[in-house]
Amino acid sequence: MYHMKKASVRDLRYGFKKIVPVIEKAIETAALMLGSDRSRGYCLEMICADFLAGANLDNGDPGTLLFSMTRFFKFLPGEQRQAFLAGLSEKVS
């Protein structure tokens, strides 16, 4: 776990104002990739799942990686699910 210094209210306000545009841009980008009909919460969930999947590639925690992949899979439309599963079958063979 990372050690965080104790922040003042002033520090928190400054940090919050600075990070909001970054978060907004990330959600907009995810919405473009996932489809504009997706909610902001859904987009944020996918961003977090993607981050966890990537972060756990180096740490070797297969449980977290599997959780992230499962979350992604659940949100795929039926046709893309079938294509994903077919791709897995080809790789295993």
Q: How many CA atoms lie within 13 A of 16 on its CB side?
A: 7
The total number of structural domains that make up the chain: 1
pLDDT at 5: 60
Q: Kindly state whether residue 1 falls inside one of the protein's structural domains.
A: no
Residue 86 inside a domain? The answer is: yes
Q: Does some domain include residue 49?
A: yes
pLDDT given for residue 1 in this prediction: 46
Range of the domain at 85: 9-92
Task: Please tell me the predicted confidence (pLDDT) of residue 90.
Answer: 74
The CA distances from residue 86 to 43, 68, 76, 78, 91, in Å, are 26, 20, 14, 12, 9
- Across the 93 residues of the chain, what is the mean pLDDT of every consecutive 10-residue run? 61 74 87 82 85 69 77 81 86 62
Per 3-state DSSP, what percentage of the chain is helix, strand, and coil (rounded to 5)?
Answer: 80, 0, 20
Q: Could you tell me if residue 52 is inside a domain?
A: yes
Q: Is residue 65 part of a domain?
A: yes
Residue 3 lies in a domain: no
pLDDT given at position 92: 64
